[in-house]
Structure 1
């Protein structure tokens, strides 16, 4: 068959029917069809043979799709059966729950949702902090200081005093020298 005379859409349909890739330029599509035909040993001369093959393939596809529908219906039927069982189980649970006291209901609810004990406010806050992190800026700063060993201003001043010695600003002799200098230069 002369594939180059066909349109791209027709080429893509032929490629889909044969299970080949449908991407590429027209020349690539034609080449893929020619290669496929040469592998299969089919002659591309008769149009009728390809039409017959197309009709046979469509019939096979329709039979497969009918088989799929049957299997889907079976699966849906099984799901419905399992769905029917769950309301019965729920009905049993509901009747049991209605007979229980308030405290027993609360206890069942705790077990179902994984809550072991009633938590105090402090425990709740600690759990929240653990889950979401600290909320206030002051707490964030304190945690950052602890993590990076950041010291406060007072600590910095103390450490400088230890390293370099205490400044002599409070020395009385130094104050007298400063006053004398101010008088000498006319500053009061």
Structure 2
């Protein structure tokens, strides 16, 4: 698989929320990549995302949160404010990347690659709102996409995670 000059999604350069170095390729198992926001009606999905990390992390899954402020300014905070909110409000232990554009002319290369994947209805393209979910297998291939209203512990998400963990 070739993703925009990279052999896998995991090879696309990203940065940690604090601006430091971070490499998705250092994460050996599957990923659940989710664009997140602190002031959204869907923000309580952090609880389920953290539970997935606790339940499936020992089997190799890593949830990766990607703060984004493109949807009605619902992630306005600084890196420190986002980290503090996620930690104190939801006990988030999974990695958070730096605040990123997921759509438009400044779309991060990670999201340029992710959004090529269609959802269950066959729709690819722009992220529609906060908390859109992408399942990436251990080799860095995107295997599933779920729209924001699909909760992280929905049966179809669990099935996709189980399949990624089994591959």
Report the TM-score, using the length of structure 2 for normalisation.
0.21
Larger Rg computed on CA atoms: 1
More strand as a share of residues? 2
> How high is the TM-score relative to the length of structure 1?
0.19
Q: Which has the higher contact order (CA 8 A, sep 6+)?
A: 2
